[in-house]
A and B are shown apart, each in its own frame.
Chain A
Amino acid sequence: MSHVRHLYVHLPFCAHRCGYCDFVTVVGRHAQHGAYVDALLAELALEGDVLADPLETVFLGGGTPTFTHPEELARLLEALPDAEELTVEANPETVTPELARLLRDGRVSRVSLGAQSFRPHLLEVLERRAQPDDVRRAVYLLRDAGLDNISLDLLYGIPGQSAADLASDLADALTLEPEHLSCYELEAKAGTRFTHAHGDELERQAEAMEGYFEAVVDTLAGAGYRWYETANFCVEPDRAGGRDLRARHNLAYWRGRDYLGVGIGAVSTVSGLRSRNLPGIGAYLSTLSAGEPPRREVEFLDAQTQACERLMLGLRLDEPLCVADVAKSLDPGALARLAAGGLVELSSNGSGDHLRLTRRGRFLGGAVTAELVELASVPA
């Protein structure tokens, strides 16, 4: 039973909700921080018997975990089980010398810093509170505290972002020598405040921005980073003293491992059962304070669906995916076609046939996946 090696902990609190954000967040509510941490620990106590000991990874995501009241954050970190990798997401403006020490003392081994951009005009468009110098200061403070695995989040495709802006953002990020970088194209989701304000601008820029993804990959690869997942890059082991700097927690998602999630809106996938805690904080707090598990939506994943997800997630990685693992959801005709078209690469080793996307295939990963996947439920 105790086999789950990955734990996600959701800390929803934020100082401000950014226009483009679609995560489960709660603005302010300082008074609730303590009760929320109590609830998290209560949920962990209720669900924790599926967890292996020791854990491989723990990930504190948000929200802005580092916006949580320091005492409460410290209390949470102390109560968490041991893990080989413990990542915390942080916003640059929340990083102080005290916070950096708090994280270190709380056994945090990795910090993911939401930099997004180093251009003030773009940070303003994104409604980010940090200034470029806050990002730099945050990195130095974390390093000073002894944290040696820092990831920076960058966004591209921001309304008004020129190719030169992107190049400068990448150069500024590289100057800080982060161990890891996550670079996301901004998704302007229909109906959001952000899309309402900037949709037309993005439409106009669409053609110019088509090459930004390639520019990101080329620049970072040129700087010695491994493009190990669609949007993620890490320093190559030979330049990192042999360390594998891939985000192990996220790697577990992409490899289809089971994980437990606690907190509002958190998702768990355990033995083919996916459950999602409801996002309301009030109900979450009251249910757990009464000793009950939180309300959840549950989804059963059959073998075909699991194979489909394995394919969708596995193709994001630069490592080969075992064909046998995804065969239930793989269209062999499409595989042959795409291989012939130079988008998919097939290989064989002792453990059977493997596939992965070629460089061009990775840029078109979404379309390639849609082509490769075979869904039982789709009528012909």
Chain B
Amino acid sequence: MELDRIRNFAIIAHIDHGKSTFADRILELTGAVSEREMREQLLDTMDLERERGITIKAQAVRVRWRDHFLNLIDTPGHVDFSYEVSRSLQACEGALLLVDASQGIEAQTLANAYLALDNDLEIVPVANKIDLPQADPDAAAAELAQLVGEPPERVLRISAKTGTGVDEVLDAIVERIPPPSGDPDAPARALVFDSSYDQYRGVVAFVRVVDGRFETREPLRAMVQGTSFEAEELGVMSPVREPVSALGAGEVGYVVTGLKDVSRLRVGDTLTSRRRPAVEPLPGYKDVKPMVFAGIFPTDSDEYPELRDALERLKLNDGSLSYEPETSQALGFGFRCGFLGLLHMEIVRERLEREFDLDLLITAPTVAYRATKRSGDVIEVHNPAEMPVEVDLVEEPYVKASVIVPKDYVGPVMELANERRGSFDHLEYLSEERVLLSYALPLGEIVYDFYDQLKSRTRGYASFDYDLAGFQPGDLTRVDILVGGEQVDALSLIVHRNAAYDRGRQLVERLRKEIPRQMFDVPVQAAIGSRVIARETIKARRKDVLAKCYGGDISRKRKLLEKQKKGKKRMKQVGGVEVPQEAFLAVLNLESVRKR
């Protein structure tokens, strides 16, 4: 296929700014799907995505528009997946920057737009939802124009919902975005920008061919990971899989690999032919490491095998999810799971609960800490209970956080950032009304309630995004919670020393309220090492008897006893204290970030 008839583009948009609706209109207008086949938001295949209205897994679709082949590469819309976004953008020559004309640019849009600019992509600015009464297309166009450095007239104004202006966007894609460049005669190289797992055919890689040509049945190799396999099938999505005999330079399509494990073919890797291999892989591959960790336990310990199977199956489709078995004396058998970020964690949790019908207990999220022990050994700590007490140095991951707010809320945002140990970087007016604030913040502060606080203090107006920015030493300490003198491993946390007392006290008070009174006084304590920093006492019950029991009601009283006994079996034993599952749930809910 001639390169100049191909256009590869992505759509950058904030959640709810209409990307999926826009993609649907493109499919309709180009005849890729008939109206009858049209499901709303066709590109988002998983239920969860449909429901949350966001895109999690990127996909690519080929459509025809006036003698050109347009490859729309859909990108995940969230910071947790920014690496996947960057790979998707690398597969393109241009991007549509889609902004809701009633909302303006959001922090996340900005981050992805910068990413596109960094990748030298041609950006086509589009103001969407101009049909809404509260839309301000002029203001949105002004913001967009300033961001991409073009005159406001170049900003297209459309309504994806009604279809107004969508054909002009398609024309602009052909006119403004350059065709792919690449050497059709060089050894074949293709960028893997996404992959998914097919139950019957194994891992399916989505690729952009950069140089050369790939043919069906060709032996292939992933250059960075070294994984070898055969191209069982090549094809394009239009939008359903359509096999082709070959994929040439500039084209976007899929490769059926037959691999049984997505972790063997990572996003960002380069495919080449083993017959005539390329020398250098394409640049930019990164091994993405999980940064947020939490313990996941079945509420009913009998469901442990089901949880294990469910994680195995999720992992097939989600190479960035990691997990290993964890045993908590309070919560039983479960897994310590690593996530790219909080949204990723929420998604995994929801999929486990929804698709696998599991009842879960999830510990407060924590981040990856680096501890230097007295011996000089450096260890990475993913579970607060594993943080050594004697350490020389603890380092924590930092992020560069961007917050966009109306100018009236700058004060509250600064206040929050300061409370969370943020250090101010810069402030920039995006328009007369809207301000971009940039901070360096510990990731550990963000996983604890930051997003909720930000939203509530700015009445929902703030948009927020972050990029990982390395490790920095912190004055951090491990706080343990003891019930009946025994440490509850699942409740240990790592906090900044200044916050230790408050957080410890909160937890201890909550536990006192949640744990039923026992036969003995039960102390509930928060401690740093052997030093107790907060203490409450659950007073012993003074009486617990069956008022009467005579010949006529022995069976009934015995059945009551059996019921009581069964109830006890469901309790978790900590330090000789029976703690109902609900108590842990209540405390963990206090600790974990509430749903967005």
Which residues 544-580 in B have Cβ within 8 Å of A in the complex?
Answer: 544-555, 557-558, 561-562, 564-566, 568-569, 576
A313 touches B548 (CB 8 A): no
- Least CB distance from A140 to B in Å reads 27
Within 8 A of B (CB), among A222-268: 230-231, 250, 253-254, 259, 261, 265-267
In the complex, chain A residues whose CB is within 8 Å of the CB of B519:
341, 343, 364, 367-368, 371
B residues less than 8 Å from A368 (CB atoms):
519
**If A312-B557, A313-B549, A370-B568 touch, does A375 touch B562 (CB 8 Å cutoff)?**
yes
Query: Residues of A contacting B552 with CB < 8 Å?
Result: 8, 23, 261, 265-267, 276
Whether B548 and A231, one on each chain, are in contact in the complex, defined by CB atoms closer than 8 angstroms, is yes
Stretch at the interface among A67-75, A113-121, A209-217, A286-294: A209-217
Within 8 A of A (CB), among B505-527: 519-520
Question: Is B569 within 8 A of A367, CB to CB?
Answer: no
Task: Report A343-363 residues with CB < 8 Å from chain B CB.
Answer: 343, 362-363
Contact in complex: B562, A366 (CB < 8 Å): no
B542-A365 in contact (CB<8A): no
B555 touches A378 (CB 8 A): no
Query: Is B36 engaged at the interface, CB distance under 8 Å to the other chain?
Result: no
B459 within 8 A of A: no
**B residues within 8 A CB of A380?**
569
Within 8 A of A (CB), among B298-333: none
A184 lies within 8 A of chain B by Cβ: yes
CB neighbours of B562 from chain A (8 A) = 308, 375, 377-378
Asked whether, in the complex, the Cβ of A8 is within 8 Å of the Cβ of B565, the reply is no
Q: Contact partner of B555 among A231, A266, A274, A371, CB < 8 A?
A: A274
Distance between B43 CB and nearest chain A CB, rounded to angstroms: 47
State the CA gap A305–B552 with chains docked (Å). Answer: 16
Q: Does A103 lie at the interface of the complex (its beta carbon under 8 Å from any beta carbon of B)?
A: no
Contact of B551 among A8, A182, A341, A367 (CB under 8 A): A8
Main secondary structure of the interface of A (DSSP, over half): mixed
* Distance between A298 CB and nearest chain B CB, rounded to angstroms: 11
Contact A231 B520 (CB under 8 A): no
Residue pair B558, A308 in contact (C-beta under 8 Å): yes
Instruction: Kindly state whether residue A110 has any CB partner on chain B within 8 Å.
Output: no
User: Within B373-405, which residues are at the interface with A (CB < 8 Å)?
Assistant: none
Whether A259 pairs with B551 at a CB distance below 8 angstroms is: yes
Tell me, rounded to whole Å, the shortest Cβ–Cβ distance linking A176 to chain B: 21
Cβ A214 vs Cβ B542 within 8 A = yes
B309 nearest CB across to chain A (Å): 22
Query: Quick check: A269 and B545 within 8 Å, CB to CB?
Result: no
Does A41 make an interface contact (CB < 8 A)?
Answer: no
Provide the bound-state CA to CA distance between A182 and B547, in Å: 10
A residues less than 8 Å from B520 (CB atoms): 341
User: Which residues of B lie under 8 Å from residue A276 when comparing CB positions?
Assistant: 552, 555
Contact of A364 among B545, B547, B561, B564 (CB under 8 A): B545
Q: Point out the residues of chain B lying under 8 angstroms from A299, CB to CB.
A: 555
Asked if B542 contacts A363 (CB within 8 A), the reply is yes
Please give, as numbers and ranges, the residues of chain A lying within 8 Å of B544 by CB-CB distance: 363-367
Interface check A319, CB cutoff 8 A: no
Q: Does A187 contact B (CB under 8 A)?
A: yes
**B542 and A211 contact, CB distance less than 8 A:** yes
B563 to chain A, nearest CB (A): 10
Contact: A373 with B551, CB < 8 Å? no
Residues in chain B near residue A185, CB distance under 8 A: 545, 547
B543 within 8 A of partner (CB): yes
Kindly provide the distance from the CB of A166 to the nearest chain B CB, expressed in whole angstroms.
14
Shortest CB–CB separation between residue A319 and chain B, in angstroms?
Answer: 16
Q: How far is the CA of A274 from the CA of B552 in the complex (A)?
A: 10
CA distance A211 to B541 in the complex (A): 10
Closest beta carbon of chain B to A38's beta carbon, Å: 22
Smallest CB separation, A288 vs chain B (Å): 19
Contact yes or no, B551 A378, CB < 8 A: no
Return the CB mask of B203-224 against A: 1 if under 8 Å, else 0: 0000000000000000000000
Q: Top 7 A-B pairs ranked by shortest CB distance?
A: A367-B544, A366-B544, A184-B547, A213-B543, A253-B551, A365-B545, A185-B547
Instruction: Supply 13 further A-B pairs (C-beta < 8 A) apart from A213-B542, A267-B555, A367-B544.
Output: A8-B552, A23-B552, A187-B547, A230-B546, A230-B549, A231-B547, A253-B551, A312-B561, A341-B520, A363-B545, A365-B544, A366-B546, A373-B561
Write the residues of chain A forming the contact surface with B, with a CB cutoff of 8 angstroms: 8, 23, 182, 184-187, 210-211, 213-214, 230-231, 250, 253-254, 259, 261, 265-267, 269, 274, 276, 299, 305, 308-309, 312-313, 316, 337, 341, 343, 362-371, 373, 375, 377-380
Q: List 22 A-B contacts (CB under 8 A).
A: A185-B545, A210-B542, A210-B543, A230-B548, A253-B554, A254-B549, A261-B552, A265-B552, A266-B552, A267-B554, A274-B554, A274-B555, A276-B555, A299-B555, A308-B558, A308-B561, A312-B554, A313-B554, A365-B545, A366-B546, A369-B561, A375-B562
